Structure 1
Amino acid sequence: MGDGNYSTYIFLGALIVLMFWMTSRTKKRQRAAEEFRDNLAVGQEVMTGSGLFGTIVAVDGERVTLRSGTGADASTSEWLRQAVAKVVEPVQEVQGEPDADDAGDTAAGDTDGSTDKDMRGTAASDE
């Protein structure tokens, strides 16, 4: 038995440990995704894997019915549970006028009114 055999065994052992670790992480992700799909409920705002946003209006076995759009533009479509990628928080529209701080285009700390072009010209002329 030479030193080469020990390093081969160590390498194979590390490879086997790595394979088991990767397999366990994959199984954990699959369980989490399955639990997520099992907990889908009517009224949730979701996004599908292809990027469609909608509200769940019915859950029937492996099918989920989504309503997308509002008012006269609203439509429904059926999707597999597996197509739902994530639950999204509904966007809350804020009524009112923008703050006075948001009205200007100046960045924080940039109060002299100079533009980036002015700054580049100044830096180039200083050299």
Structure 2
Amino acid sequence: MDANTTQLLFFGVIIVVIIALMFRNGRKRQRTAAEMTAGLRPGAEIMTSGGIFGTITAIDEDESKITLRTGPTSEITIHRQAIGRIVTPVADDGTVLNGEPVVLEDAAADPTFGERVDLSKPEPGTARPTDSAASKGVSE
């Protein structure tokens, strides 16, 4: 083979690889979009492609419209394709899924931001931060 044929063959292989990667990425995007639209149910919190957050109140499958509650008294109607991402999905049984499950004991134990913590009365089984070896009379 001469140099021109080798260069053309190499160039053709590069073009084929680029086209194959484009088709692969397109199918991947279609699959994730189909999964997202399958997960749309009333009660799910979503963000539109324009950055508006809201909770789905109604879905019209025939006209591809979704009604969002964006505030206590305001609702807007958007097209299905305007959904950017699902913030809080809803399970099949209607319960809201928000990532990791919250353990109520752990959530109640941590103070909220700005909350004052009374360290004078520790809970049973917990050590106070002021307890140290020096205050107990133990020498090092």
1:98 and 2:114 correspond: yes
Alignment match, 1:44: 44
Residue 20 of structure 2: aligned partner: 20
Q: Which residue of 1 aligns with 2:2?
A: 2
Seq. identity, %: 33
- CA offset at residue 34 of structure 1? 2.2
| CA distance in 1 between partners of 2:50 and 2:113 (Å) | 35
User: How many angstroms apart in 1 are the aligned matches of 2:113 and 2:82?
Assistant: 39
The reply on whether 1:75 has 2:74 as its aligned counterpart is: yes
State the partner residue of 1:105.
Answer: none
Higher helix share: 1
Distance 2:71 2:115 in 1: 30
Secondary structure, aligned partner of 2:15: helix
Q: Which residue of 1 aligns with 2:86?
A: 87
Q: CA deviation at 1:2?
A: 1.4
Q: Distance in 2 between matches of 1:59 and 1:12?
A: 47
Say which SS state the counterpart of residue 21 (structure 2) adopts. helix
**Whole-angstrom distance in 1 between the partners of 2:50 and 2:77:** 14
Runs of 4+ in 1 over 2 A off after TM superposition: none
CA contact (8 A) 2:36 2:86 kept: no
TM-score by length of 1: 0.65
Tell me the CA shift for residue 31 of structure 1: 2.1
Q: TM-score, normalised by structure 2?
A: 0.59
Cα distance, 1:96 vs structure 2 = 5.2
Number of residue pairs the alignment of both structures matches:
94
* Residue in 2 that maps onto 1:33: 33
- Structure 1 gap segments, 5+ residues each: 101-127
Shift of 1:97: 5.7
